Amino acid sequence: MQSDLDQLYCDKAFPVIQDWRDWIPGLYNHLMIQDNSVSPGYCLLQVLRPDAPLPEDGESDQFFFKDRTGKLLLKNFIVSLFNINHEIHGPAGFQQGQPGICDKDSVFALHCTTWPQQARQWLDQQGEGQWPSAEMKQYCSRTGCFVVGVGCSGSEHEQLEWRISTSLAERCLMFNLNITQIRCYVLMKIILKTFINPLFKDVITSFMCKTVLFHCISNTHSNIWRENNLLSCLSLCLYLLYNNIINENCPHFIIPGNNLMRGKISPAVKPYILEILRNIINSEGVALLWIKCDALGSRLQRKILNLGTIKTTDITSGSQLFNLAVYIYYTLKRINYHLKDSSPNEAVEILKNFVLKTINCQYEGLDKPATHLLLPWYCTTLGSVLASLNIYHYNTVSADALKLISLGLNTDVASSKLKLASILYRVQEIQKANAVLSEIERRYDLQIVEPVCSCYQFEIKSVRQGFYKLCENHNEEILQYTTASCVRYLQCEIHCVPNELRYEMFRSTQEDRMFRTKEDNDWMDCAVVDSLPYLYFLQYKVYSHLGRHDLKQAALFKLIRTIKKERNLGHQETALNLLGKCMEQEGRAGDALQCYLMSLNIRGRNNAAKIHITILLSVLINTRR
Q: Are residues 152 and 11 in the same domain?
A: yes
Q: How confident is the model at residue 307 (pLDDT cuts 50, 70, 90)?
A: very low
For the chain, state the CA radius of gyration: 31
- Domain identity same for 181 and 162: no
Residues 71 and 90 in one domain: yes
Q: Are residues 114 and 219 in the same domain?
A: no
pLDDT of residue 561: 97
Which pLDDT score, from 0 to 100, does residue 90 have? 52
Give the domain-ending residue among 263, 282, 301: 282
From residue 99, alpha-carbon distances to 5, 102, 105, 294 in Å are 14, 8, 17, 18
Q: State how far the Cα of 316 lies from the Cα of 321, in Å rounded to an integer.
A: 7
Predicted confidence at residue 463, as pLDDT, reads 84
The alpha-helical segments, DSSP class H, found in 444-548 are: 465-471, 479-482, 499-502, 510-513, 531-546
More confident residue, 125 or 472: 125
State mean pLDDT over 317-340: 72
How many other β-carbons are positioned within 10 Å of the β-carbon of residue 125? Answer: 9
The answer to whether residue 306 scores a pLDDT higher than 70 is no
Residue 138 sits in the same domain as residue 278? no
Q: What is the mean pLDDT of the chain?
A: 86
Region of 569 on the Ramachandran plot (φ > 0 left; ψ -120 to 50 alpha; else beta): beta
Mean pLDDT (whole number) for 586-606: 95
What type of residue sits at position 151?
Answer: G
Domain co-membership, 104 together with 248: no
Tell me, yes or no, whether 94 lies in a domain: yes
* In-domain check, residue 432: no
Domain encompassing residue 556: 504-527+547-625
CA distance 492 to 348: 9
> Is the per-residue pLDDT at 617 higher than 50?
yes
Check pLDDT > 50 for residue 533: yes
607 lies in a domain? Answer: yes
User: What number is the average pLDDT over the span 340-363?
Assistant: 78
Residues 154 and 227 in one domain: no
Most confident of 72-81, 194-203, 494-503, 510-519: 494-503
Taking each helix axis from N to C end, the angle separating 206-218 and 167-175, rounded to the nearest 10 degrees, works out to 60
The residue-averaged pLDDT of 396-418 equals 92
Query: Which amino acid, one-letter code, is at 286?
Result: V
Q: Is 12 helix (H, G, I), strand (E, B) or coil?
A: coil
Mean local confidence (pLDDT), 287-291: 79
Q: Alpha-carbon torsion 152, 156, 160, 164, what sign?
A: negative
pLDDT digits (tens, 9 = 90+) for 136-147: 999 999 999 999
Q: How confident is the model at residue 87 (pLDDT cuts 50, 70, 90)?
A: low
Residues 181 and 214 in one domain: yes
Instruction: Please state which of the ranges 24-38, 81-95, 353-367, 464-478 shows the lowest mean pLDDT.
Output: 81-95
Alpha carbon distance 391, 502 (integer Å): 15
Residues 103 and 22 reside in one and the same domain: yes
Together in a domain, 106 and 210: no
Domain boundary pick from 282, 304, 324: 282
Cis geometry, peptide bond prior to residue 198 (ω within 30 degrees of 0): no
Q: What percent of the chain has pLDDT over 90?
A: 56
499 vs 82, 399, 502, 503, CA distance in Å?
69, 24, 5, 7
Nearest CA-CA partner of 8 in 156, 191, 152, 145: 145
Statement: residue 624 has pLDDT above 80: no
pLDDT (0 to 100) of residue 334: 66
What is the domain count for the chain? 3
> Does residue 608 lie within any of the structural domains?
yes
pLDDT for the residue 457? 74
Condensed to tens digits (0 to 9), the pLDDT of residues 230-253 reads 888 999 999 999 999 999 999 999
Do 74 and 213 share a domain, yes or no?
no
Q: With beta carbons less than 8 A apart as the criterion, state whether 320 and 286 touch.
A: no
Close Cβ partners of 527 (under 8 Å, ≥ 6 residues apart): 488, 489, 494, 497, 501, 502, 504, 505
User: Do the bridges between strand 42-47 and strand 450-452 make them parallel or antiparallel, or are there none, so unpaired?
Assistant: unpaired
Q: Considering the domain boundaries, does residue 404 fall inside one? A: no
- Asked whether residue 566 carries a pLDDT value surpassing 80, the answer given is yes
User: CB–CB of 454/519 below 8 Å?
Assistant: no
pLDDT at 541: 97
**Burial bucket for residue 164 (CB in 10 Å: 0-12, 13-18, 19+):** buried
Q: Is the pLDDT of residue 84 over 50?
A: no
Q: Quick one: 111 and 67 in the same domain?
A: yes
- The whole-angstrom separation of Cα 125 and Cα 147 is 24
CA 377/CA 415 separation, integer angstroms? 10
Convert the pLDDT of each residue in 127-170 to its tens digit.
Answer: 778 899 999 999 999 999 999 988 888 888 888 999 999 999 99
